[in-house]
Amino acid sequence: MSKRWLMIADAHLTCREPEDGFFRMLNGVSCLPADIGIIFLGDIFDLWIALRGYENDEHRRFLDWCRQEKTRRQIVFLEGNHEFFVAKTYPDAFSFSSEDSYEDGALQWLHGDRINKKDYTYTMLRFILRNVLTRGFLWCIGPTFGPTFAHYVRERLRTTNQAHKQSFPEPIALKFLSSCPPDSIVFVGHFHDRLTKTADGRTLEVLPAYADASELVYYDPSTPELTVFPADRIGELCSDNSLKQEAVES
């Protein structure tokens, strides 16, 4: 079981060209001590339909890295609202994968897209796209219509319910937090912001989007605060020096 965690949320890799910068960061992650687990909190790709006919070389490159790295450390993948069927199709690629959440004692991780129960349009879209019948239909049409359908889904996800996506639903999020077990620390992505909210002894940590400033988030239970740092400083975490000191001083 990992004692420390490195978190990556909302990279939104478009795969329109090789994502070499992101994979340079992952190569840096590989140098971390083995007791640091890696959690991908969803929307790592701008669209990932994990079925034949919808994937490309960058999806396979990411899976290859995860398969290799999980032999050394815990690798957790949680699906975001831009990823479909990854957990079901590639359970071998990760130490743990889910379209829902991951827990480690009082710690809980989830993408965050389902916190806002009042986003009815998204809830309906999610149901339509993620059920067993849709999965079977997409598998059948993938070899011929996969790219066309993927483009349609990408555009729908980009334009649906912008009013809900552009503001953090604080009252709803605090109500959700209050329903969690006592002393919980809950980590979410999705909102592309960095926020800390508390309710009844529980803490909600909203993580920044990697896509915005290439930021990673480090959690060490021996220090009281998260450390948010740019990906090009991953070497400092490998050497276990200044980033840990920043966490103590923050």
Closest CA to 204 of 181, 226, 184, 186: 186
Helix (H, G, I), strand (E, B) or coil at 181: coil
Ramachandran area for residue 218 (φ above 0: left; ψ -120 to 50: alpha; else beta): beta
This model's pTM is above 0.85: yes
Number of other residues whose CB lies within 10 A of the CB of residue 240: 12
What mean pLDDT value characterizes the chain?
A: 85
Q: What is the dihedral of CA 179, 181, 185, 187, to 10 degrees?
A: -50
Label residue 72 by pLDDT band (50, 70, 90).
very high
Q: What is the reported pLDDT for 162?
A: 53
| Residue 11 identity (one-letter amino acid) | A
Label residue 249 by pLDDT band (50, 70, 90).
very low
Q: What is the reported pLDDT for 121?
A: 64
